[in-house]
Amino acid sequence: MQWKVLRSLPLQDVQNKLDEYTIKYGSLSHLHEEFIKGRIPPGVFQDYVEWTSMDHAVRAYQEGEDFEYLAEEDLDFTPEDYSKLTPRRLELLDSLTEGSFNSINEFAGYVERDVKNVYTDLKTLESLGLVQLIKEGRNTIPELLVHEITLLLG
Please tell me the distance from the alpha carbon of residue 73 to that of residue 75, in angstroms, as a whole number: 6
pTM for this one? 0.73
Please tell me the distance from the alpha carbon of residue 121 to that of residue 51, in angstroms, as a whole number: 34
pLDDT score recorded for residue 106: 97
pLDDT score recorded for residue 35: 87
Rounded to a whole number of angstroms, the CA Rg of the chain reads 19
pLDDT score recorded for residue 56: 94
For the chain, 154 residues long, give each residue's pLDDT as a single digit of tens: 678 889 888 899 999 999 999 999 988 998 888 888 888 888 899 899 999 999 999 999 999 998 989 988 888 888 898 899 999 999 999 999 998 999 999 999 999 999 999 999 999 999 998 999 999 999 999 999 998 888 887 6
What DSSP designation does 63 have? Answer: T
**Helices first, then strands: H and E counts in the chain:** 7, 5
Please tell me the distance from the alpha carbon of residue 23 to that of residue 91, in angstroms, as a whole number: 41
pLDDT score recorded for residue 9: 87
pLDDT score recorded for residue 152: 80
B/e letters for 74-100, b = 16+ CB within 10 Å, e = fewer, are ebebeeeeeeebeeebeebbebbeeee
pLDDT score recorded for residue 73: 86
Residue ranges of domains in the chain: 2-72, 77-144
pLDDT score recorded for residue 142: 96
Q: 77-144: which CATH architecture?
A: Orthogonal Bundle (1.10)
